[in-house]
Amino acid sequence: MPDQPVLTSAQIRVVESLGHDLMQRAGRSVARLAMRLAQDTGGPIVVVAGPGNNGGDAWVAASELLGTFNRVVVFDVTGTAPRAAAALTAREAFVAAGGVITREWPSVQRPALVIDGLLGIGLARPIEAPLEGAIASINGSGSPVLAIDVPSGLDADTGAIRGYAVHATATLTFLAHKPGLLTASGPELCGTIECDDLGLGHAAREKARGTVLDVETVRGWLAPRPRNSHKGAYGTVGVIGGTRGMVGAALLAARAALLSGAGKVQVGLLAPDALAVDPLHPELMLRPVDDVVHADVVVAGPGAGRSPSATTASLFERSVLPALLAGARTLVLDADGLNAIAFSQGLREALANRRGSTILTPHPAEAARLLGVQTADVQADRLAAALALAERCKAHVVLKGQGSVCASPDGAWSINRTGNPGLASGGTGDVLAGMIGAFVAQGLEPARALRFAVCLHGAAADALVARGTGPLGLTASEVALEARRLANAWAGPVQ
């Protein structure tokens, strides 16, 4: 299927300028979905209308619904006349047809559905009265809630809550997806998301630098293997990390690379008393670190540790990492590999000037260290942070978390829709790093390898939870095994 575009509010405004009758189209679309969602309680549909274009969509929907539903009540929160001509016409039609308008939350039996048309994508400041009270009434209604375009109070660009926000059962968004629906608090507030491009899908795709990352997007990226295959065709992944007390991190990454289809996996453990063999997966080749740096793709940093002194670098920071940065092989930097770079100006410069491709896998705190800001700053605008890292480091980046953001140096980005809280456990990031390395080794170019692994990683956790494993107690090892099953299912049978 074609990529689903994700547009910022500014880009949406440009696409809007290319259309006509958009408010009528949007309102009719809301009415159609409302009829599907309304519960048969005998109660009315309550439409909450704000003063802007979002409220205009709500008035059109209310007018459409009045002819098809037994009762529709509009809660006109501010009482001001709609600014848009189409909205004003719809309001007048609603009144002329006998529609009920109230300035307070209607005293009716439990609504069959509440339609949130209070605020749209133009929200730029914290919610205040009377809108705060309207949001509280929507959330306290006990009814399913359909949000128009974006749940009121949610920043459409960042996914931040502007003080108060509607908790929707479903969101019908228009023209294209918005970043804030897919990351940070967005997925928690939106419920199920449907997108109606209002006939402007082609224009939306032309403007988009961002796309939705989901199973349907990536399913065909990994081709089925031909029968005439050999391990050399699927590359060698090297994993370097695992200092004393943290060997498990490197082994998790290496095992994930093995389970994700790499032809060979070499492990260079940094612990002086390291294992000679992995008893769970003796297929892994435990080698001296100096040998592992020559693998086709190197995953560096899982369990590498940090020097306890700001003035005394570890062997990894002083020797291994500079050699990797100076090389031309694709390099996946995770965990302490990222931290080492954050604390060294010389390593940051070497990273930005690399000849080979680089993939970074930070969680928000690691991203904050790399950018020289606070974690809260990263979380306040996850898309901007990921794009800034990709540009500054000349790297493909995944900013992990709810709605992981993948960004590339050319400004292209995607937001992942798979995954669940079961991934909030130790070792899952190491597994992701190993998976990325494996897909690079198998021939996916770095941007695709990153996105494929991120989506697969989350989908594996979703599949496990659907079968009753987690989210509580879900382990990284289980994710790696389930990812193997899904990757084979997505690729299809051997040719």
Q: Going from the N-terminus, what domains does the chain have, and what CATH number goes with each? A: 5-208 (3.40.50.10260), 231-491 (3.40.1190.20)
For 289-401, where are the alpha helices, taking DSSP H only? 289-292, 315, 321-326, 336-342, 345-352, 364-371, 375-380, 382-393
Which pLDDT tens digit goes with each residue over 28-62? 999 999 999 998 888 999 999 998 899 999 999 99
The answer on pLDDT for 1 being more than 70 is no
246-268: average pLDDT? 98
Instruction: List CB contacts of 472: < 8 A, sequence separation 6 or more.
Output: 422
Instruction: List CB contacts of 73: < 8 A, sequence separation 6 or more.
Output: 44, 45, 46, 47, 99, 100, 101, 102, 106, 108
Q: What is the pLDDT of residue 469?
A: 97
Contact call for residues 259 and 481 (beta carbons, < 8 A): yes
Q: Report DSSP state, residue 316.
A: I
Which pLDDT tens digit goes with each residue over 344-367? 999 999 999 999 999 999 999 999
The verdict on pTM exceeding 0.85 is: yes
160-167: average pLDDT? 96
304-325: average pLDDT? 81
For residue 80, name the pLDDT band (cuts at 50, 70, 90): confident
Give the closest residue to 128 by CA, choosing from 146, 149, 152.
152
368-397: average pLDDT? 98
Query: How far is it, in rounded angstroms, from Cα 414 to Cα 357?
Result: 18
Tell which wins on pLDDT, 48 or 310: 48
Helices and strands (DSSP H and E) totals, the chain: 21, 18
Which pLDDT tens digit goes with each residue over 170-182? 999 999 999 999 9
For residue 430, name the pLDDT band (cuts at 50, 70, 90): very high
**394, 395, 399, 404 alpha-carbon torsion, rounded to 10°:** 120
DSSP letter string, 410-430:
TS-EEEE----GGG-STTHHH
HSE-CB of 97 using CA atoms within 13 angstroms: 21
Q: What is the pLDDT of residue 309?
A: 52
Q: What is the pLDDT of residue 314?
A: 86
Q: What is the pLDDT of residue 13?
A: 96
Contact call for residues 393 and 170 (beta carbons, < 8 A): no
Query: How far is it, in rounded angstroms, from Cα 3 to Cα 19?
Result: 21
**Residue 357, helix vs strand vs coil:** coil
Query: How far is it, in rounded angstroms, from Cα 486 to Cα 172?
Result: 30
Q: Which residue has the tokens 């700053």?
A: 377
Count Cβ atoms below 10 Å from residue 466 Cβ, excluding itself.
10
Structural tokens at position 61: 């929907």
233-249: average pLDDT? 96
HSE-CB of 45 using CA atoms within 13 angstroms: 32
**Residue 148, helix vs strand vs coil:** strand
Structural tokens at position 353: 């000037």
Q: What is the pLDDT of residue 308?
A: 56
Q: What is the pLDDT of residue 307?
A: 63
For residue 312, name the pLDDT band (cuts at 50, 70, 90): low
Contact call for residues 321 and 337 (beta carbons, < 8 A): yes
Which pLDDT tens digit goes with each residue over 136-147? 999 999 999 999
The answer on pLDDT for 431 being more than 60 is yes
The answer on pLDDT for 310 being more than 70 is no
- Taking 3-state DSSP, the helix, strand and coil percentages for the chain, each rounded to the nearest 5, stand at 40, 15, 45
Give the DSSP H or E segment for 116: strand 113-117
For 191-237, where are the alpha helices, taking DSSP H only? 201-207, 215-218
Ranking 29-38, 271-280, 456-465 by mean pLDDT, the lowest is 271-280
Ranking 103-112, 150-159, 283-292 by mean pLDDT, the lowest is 103-112
Contact call for residues 194 and 170 (beta carbons, < 8 A): yes
Give the closest residue to 55 by CA, choosing from 13, 102, 100, 88.
88
Query: How far is it, in rounded angstroms, from Cα 444 to Cα 294?
Result: 19
For residue 286, name the pLDDT band (cuts at 50, 70, 90): very high
Query: How far is it, in rounded angstroms, from Cα 149 to Cα 25?
Result: 13
Q: What is the pLDDT of residue 199?
A: 97
Q: What is the pLDDT of residue 275?
A: 86
Which residue type sits at 22? L
Query: How far is it, in rounded angstroms, from Cα 333 to Cα 301?
Result: 6
Share of the chain above pLDDT 90, in %: 87
Q: Examine residue 446 and say whether the peptide bond preceding it is cis (omega within 30 degrees of 0).
A: no
What integer best gives the mean pLDDT of the chain? 95
Which pLDDT tens digit goes with each residue over 325-346? 999 999 999 999 999 999 999 9
281-301: average pLDDT? 97
For residue 471, name the pLDDT band (cuts at 50, 70, 90): very high
Which pLDDT tens digit goes with each residue over 192-217? 999 999 999 999 999 999 999 999 99
Instruction: List CB contacts of 329: < 8 A, sequence separation 6 or more.
Output: 294, 295, 296, 297, 298, 356
296 — phi, psi (to 5°)? Answer: -60, -40
Q: What is the pLDDT of residue 313?
A: 67
Query: How far is it, in rounded angstroms, from Cα 154 to Cα 181?
Result: 8
Helical axes 428-441 vs 446-466, angle rounded to 10°: 130
**134, 138, 139, 141 alpha-carbon torsion, rounded to 10°:** 130
Q: What is the pLDDT of residue 115?
A: 98
**Residue 246, helix vs strand vs coil:** coil
Query: How far is it, in rounded angstroms, from Cα 6 to Cα 180?
Result: 10
